[in-house]
Amino acid sequence: MKNQKVVIAGGASGLGLAIARLMLADGVEAIALVDKNGLLLDETVGALKSEGHQVYGAQGDITRKESAHAVFAKAVDALGRVDCLINSAAIYPRRPILEISDDEWDLENAVNIKGTYHMMVAAIEHMRSRPKVEANVAGRIVNITSVDAFKAHPQNAHYAATKAAVVSLTKSFAQEVAKDGILVNSVAPAGFATDRAKKLGFLGELAAANPLGRAAEPEEIAHWVIMMASSRNTYATGENVIVSGGYIYV
């Protein structure tokens, strides 16, 4: 990741933050973290800056085109250019399938699908204007999907549907922007041990169903994201990489 400048949507906590920390350890030049939660974003950016890293915050709502493009523009202003976008912003509600309200559907679709879409469009508009460098690549986008897109689980039908949509978006975008030298891929983890996942109390169930007998640590997923985001990836596009500890094969 040396000399790379990266935007991470949903980067103030969870997997997004784990990705940021590993990228910084891997020598990334600078990162802009995007998050709607301004207080959490300021705290995270401040902590990373205190460790000597070049990190910026871009607070805003990615669920609408105008605000998503505005927040991406903030990131570009801070970084000067963007080599890679990581879309890890998502919400994960749990609700029995017969109890999901229209408002819950709308919010899930807005964040997980539309937010990802708007950030990809903003990134592509920026990357298209940049010269193609190594292996004719002008930029990279990595979306975080989920094994839930392929395997049903109780009480998360709306979340699973949005992640299946992001897998489809990834493939569609990859086809359309290949000529521009932009690589678009996704990484689909099984359950991993974020602080929020621990609080929800279902990691034990996931660990019992996993051949490795445990849920992943966020850093174990982040390594695969970085592989697809880095200059090591010069050929893969439209791919969805499943990282599940053997929980699912597709």
Residues assigned a catalytic role: 159
At CA 47, angle to CA 12 and CA 16, rounded to 5? 25
Side by side, the strands of the sheet bearing 5-9 are 55-59, 30-35, 5-9, 84-87, 139-144, 182-189, 240-243
Both tokens assigned to 83 = 């080599």
Distances (CA, A) of 97 to 22, 105, 155: 36, 11, 6
30-35 and 240-243 beta bridge pairing? unpaired
Buried b (16+ CB within 10 A) or exposed e, 141-170: bbbbbbbbbbeebeebbbbbbbbbbbbebb
Strand partners, 144: 187
